[in-house]
Amino acid sequence: MKKITSLVILLTLVWIVKGELGSQFDTIVAQHGHGNFKRITEAVKAAPSNSKLKYYIHIKAGTYVEKVIIGREKTNLVFIGEGMDMTIITGNRSNRAGYSTSASATVDIFGEGFIAKNITFINSAGAGNGQAVAVKSSSMFSAFYQCRFKGYQDTLYVHSGIQFYRECEIFGTVDFIFGDARVVFQKCGMYVRLPGNTNVITAQGRGTSLDSGGISIHNCTIAATKEFNSHLGIKAYLGRPWGRFSKVVIMQSFLDDIIDPEGWLQWGNDTSSLYYGEYNNTGVGASLAKRVKWKGRKRMDLVQAKKFTVRNFIYGQKWLNPTKIPYSLDFM
């Protein structure tokens, strides 16, 4: 009787564990060892199209040298890595090598509802090769958690849609967060790296007054890599207007002394229609005393700043809960 009871308990435990693992991942990518696929591209191709349910792809530790495209039909894909230092997706396409900015992306995302966690995305083309994108996201309601994006010029292309980034790290030199998505970065780090005499963090591409795009940087850190800090006299700017109605706000963030006192860099002659707002930031680089005197550069008050929170700017209360990514709807 005891043997039968023990066997029943053992089988029950196996069933529970198997069920939990099965519900956690739909498929596994592994370069070595146990997995359903060896390449991420193969797993994406095999994923269901136009899925209304999340489809979980576990990407085991390794460096995956691939060009990954997630088509519009591949909705609700979730990439789960094993940590930013463990799961790495890398490519080296660049403008100098003959690729357009969009085509240079190591990972190019179109399908709605994409999520990535615990992964590093790299474009390793190197400095001096022009635009070289690590990730381009056109995914509506896409979210990234504890991911790292490494490149030089044009590292992260927030192309379009509504997007959210939490506890991520972005490295680059020129316009390394750019595009026209409606996006919030929360508790992220933006790190300027060498080389580069004129370093610019954002290049927001809002083209008309009716365009809903914009970049909100909330409770983040803007600083430099150790290598950059060793080169005195090189400064960085918070952004420059890729579009005439460019919109960027920085709130409750730490701005290191790498930020030029003027804060923002001109690109073209008309700066009257852009919106560059700052609210309640800290650090040497947060001083507003010598900021550019453009009509569109704003020292925001609380009422203005509230428009750019997760609640009000990307309507996070309506879609972020199922992502299982932490977030703050309002100010911290």
Distance between CA atoms of residues 251 and 186, nearest Å: 10
Active-site choice (26, 154, 175, 260): 175
Residue 7: helix, strand or coil by DSSP? helix
Q: Are 89 and 120 in contact (CB under 8 A)?
A: yes
Considering only CA atoms, which of 174, 166, 214, 168 is closest in space to residue 190? 168
Task: Tell me whether residue 175 is one of the annotated catalytic residues.
Answer: yes
Please tell me the total number of residues recorded for the chain in this structure. 332
What is the set of active-site residues?
175
